């Protein structure tokens, strides 16, 4: 694989993301305007719930309806009430969200309580069932220890996650190849059809390549498509454009 083909592949696997506190309709439109269809389209756009309707309408207007709309719940701290999280999930789906990125209450897991996080995933899955994919953010950089990362990934898988996602992008350590390896191996050994999303801090195609190769090694090259693998990234798109336009080799 060349850098250019990996750049195109990374774009096809990308959840182009903006989850900034000061996001506005104008900044979300600017995010959509940063897509150059001549280079390719991302897999999804990931925004806060209040922008789901706007993104859905804009994607239809631009005839890019194949791009999924993703949003976040219990984000970023993982500390909201379960009832509120379930309500957020229903309302985001009603607004047109295709994918829900739920923050696992990872603090509870770290405190020795796996039941609460399990309930969040299970209840969110019931709310999503048949209508949206559920991606579960385990915040691997905070969990830190491989054993805890594996435990969180396994819990998410067993409770119904469609994807296990590394990070919110809001803590000191976000996606790392080390955490990705643990999660991918946990998915593989589960024998379930669950995807993986590396999110937070993936800014260059060269960095993205480490995750692509890791996923190919562990899961096989044929597994590497947007049904199974995503990058959650706010700034990888600009490096993809630089690489594809041949300004960097
Ligand atoms: O889910 C995606 C992350 O929030 C994006 O993080 P990033 O801004 O470091 O690319």
Q: Report the pLDDT value the prediction gives residue 129, as an integer from 0 to 100.
A: 92
Atom 7 in ligand 1: residue holding the nearest Cα: 200
Instruction: Give me 185's structure tokens.
Output: 């191996």
Q: CB count, 10 Å around CB of 75?
A: 20
Average pLDDT rounded to a whole number, residues 212-233: 98
Using one digit for the tens of pLDDT, what is the confidence trace for 49-76?
999 999 999 999 999 999 999 999 999 9
CATH no. for residue 226?
3.20.20.70
Q: Report the pLDDT value the prediction gives residue 92, as an integer from 0 to 100.
A: 98
Distance CA 157, CA 160 (A): 5
Ligand 1 centroid, distance to 122 Cα (angstroms): 25
Residue 73 within a domain: yes
Burial (CB count within 10 angstroms: exposed 0-12, middle 13-18, buried 19+), residue 43 = buried
Ligand 1 centroid, distance to 199 Cα (angstroms): 5
Integer Rg of the chain from CA: 17
Ligand 1 centroid, distance to 150 Cα (angstroms): 22
Q: Report the pLDDT value the prediction gives residue 14, as an integer from 0 to 100.
A: 98
Q: Is the pLDDT of residue 229 over 60?
A: yes
Q: Is the pLDDT of residue 144 over 70?
A: yes
Higher model confidence: residue 249 or residue 114? 114
Residue 29 within a domain: yes
Average pLDDT rounded to a whole number, residues 102-119: 98
Answer yes or no: is the C-beta of 199 below 6 A from any ligand 1 atom.
yes
Average pLDDT rounded to a whole number, residues 7-25: 98
Burial (CB count within 10 angstroms: exposed 0-12, middle 13-18, buried 19+), residue 156 = buried
**Residue 19, φ and ψ in degrees, nearest 5:** -130, 55
Q: Is the pLDDT of residue 249 over 90?
A: no
Residue 249 within a domain: no
Residue 26 within a domain: yes
Q: Is the pLDDT of residue 22 over 70?
A: yes
Asked, as a colleague might, if the bond just before 132 is cis with ω within 30 of 0, I would say no
Residues in the chain: 249
Mean pLDDT score of the chain:
97
Higher model confidence: residue 249 or residue 145? 145
Answer yes or no: is the C-beta of 141 below 6 A from any ligand 1 atom.
no
Q: Report the pLDDT value the prediction gives residue 100, as an integer from 0 to 100.
A: 99
Residue 144 within a domain: yes
Q: Report the pLDDT value the prediction gives residue 1, as an integer from 0 to 100.
A: 75
197 labelled catalytic: yes
Q: Looking at 101, 125, 135, 162, which residue is catalytic?
A: 101
Ligand 1 centroid, distance to 37 Cα (angstroms): 22
Model confidence at 248, in pLDDT bands (50, 70, 90)?
very low
Residue 237 within a domain: yes
Using one digit for the tens of pLDDT, what is the confidence trace for 178-214?
999 999 999 999 999 999 999 999 999 999 999 999 9
Residue 70 within a domain: yes
Q: Indicate which atom in ligand 1 lies nearest the CA of residue 233.
A: 10
The total number of structural domains in the chain stands at 1
Q: Is the pLDDT of residue 247 over 90?
A: no
Tell how far CA 27 is from the center of its chain: 20
Residue 22 within a domain: yes
Model confidence at 246, in pLDDT bands (50, 70, 90)?
confident
Which residue segment(s) compose the domain that 142 sits in?
A: 3-244
Distance CA 224, CA 157 (A): 19
Q: Report the pLDDT value the prediction gives residue 30, as an integer from 0 to 100.
A: 98
125 labelled catalytic: no
Average pLDDT rounded to a whole number, residues 90-99: 98
Q: Report the pLDDT value the prediction gives residue 245, as an integer from 0 to 100.
A: 93
Tell how far CA 163 is from the center of its chain: 8
Average pLDDT rounded to a whole number, residues 232-249: 88
165 labelled catalytic: yes
Burial (CB count within 10 angstroms: exposed 0-12, middle 13-18, buried 19+), residue 157 = buried
Atom 2 in ligand 1: residue holding the nearest Cα: 232
């Amino acid at each position: 694989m060349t850098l250019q083909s990996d750049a195109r592949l990374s774009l096809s696997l990308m959840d182009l993301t903006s989850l900034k506190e000061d996001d506005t309709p104008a900044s979300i439109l600017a995010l959509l305007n940063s897509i150059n269809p001549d280079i390719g389209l991302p897999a999804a756009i990931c925004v806060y719930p209040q922008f789901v309707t706007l993104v859905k309408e804009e994607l239809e207007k631009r005839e890019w309806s194949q791009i999924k709309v993703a949003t976040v719940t219990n984000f970023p701290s993982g500390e909201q009430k379960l009832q509120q999280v379930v309500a957020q999930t229903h309302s985001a789906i009603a607004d047109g969200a295709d994918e829900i990125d739920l923050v696992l209450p990872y603090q509870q897991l770290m405190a020795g309580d796996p039941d609460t996080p399990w309930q969040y995933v299970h209840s969110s899955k019931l709310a999503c069932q048949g209508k949206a994919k559920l991606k579960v953010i385990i915040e691997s950089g905070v969990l830190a220890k491989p054993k805890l990362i594996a435990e969180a990934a396994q819990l998410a898988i067993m409770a119904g996650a469609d994807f296990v996602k590394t990070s919110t992008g809001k803590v000191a350590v976000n996606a790392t190849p080390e955490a990705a390896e643990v999660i991918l191996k946990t998915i593989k050994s589960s024998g379930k059809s669950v995807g993986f999303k590396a999110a937070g801090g993936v800014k260059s195609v060269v960095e993205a390549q480490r995750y692509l190769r890791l996923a190919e090694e562990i899961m096989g090259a044929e597994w590497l498509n947007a049904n199974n693998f995503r990058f959650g990234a706010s700034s990888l798109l600009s490096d993809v454009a630089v690489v594809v336009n041949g300004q960097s080799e």
